[in-house]
Amino acid sequence: MYDFPQDLRDAQLALHQTRAAYEQYARALPWSAEPMPGWEGEKQLHSGYRSAKPDSPGYTEEQRREVARFRAELLKLSSVVFTHPFWATLERSDVVARRMALQHSHESPAAAGAG
């Protein structure tokens, strides 16, 4: 069990939450950021599946701004987590295990209290 600084845990949790919000937002976006014609692929030999995409109107300016905002926030939070002074206090051989533990430290009350 690891004792992570609270500001590092908070930044990691904010990173998870922001990534989840971005992924949810992105699911509602058109499949292409730029206007593109739709297409239909060839029928697959054994399954009969035919891949296809409808026409994409591209992103609106508001959608472009929101995607840019999410990406900037994700970059900022990733940098806060990655460059936190806590990592410099560890033995090099322990950093990867602790980074992995930090990613999961918010998952349950028991893990949050221990990590």
Side-chain half-sphere exposure of 68, counting CA atoms within 13 A: 8
Cβ neighbours for 80, distance < 8 A, ≥ 6 positions apart: 11
pTM given for the model = 0.81
Mean pLDDT, range 87-91, rounded to an integer: 94
Residue type, 58: G
Residue 89 pLDDT > 60, yes or no? yes
pLDDT category at 101 given cuts 50, 70, 90 is very high
CA 39, CA 33: separation in Å to the nearest integer?
16
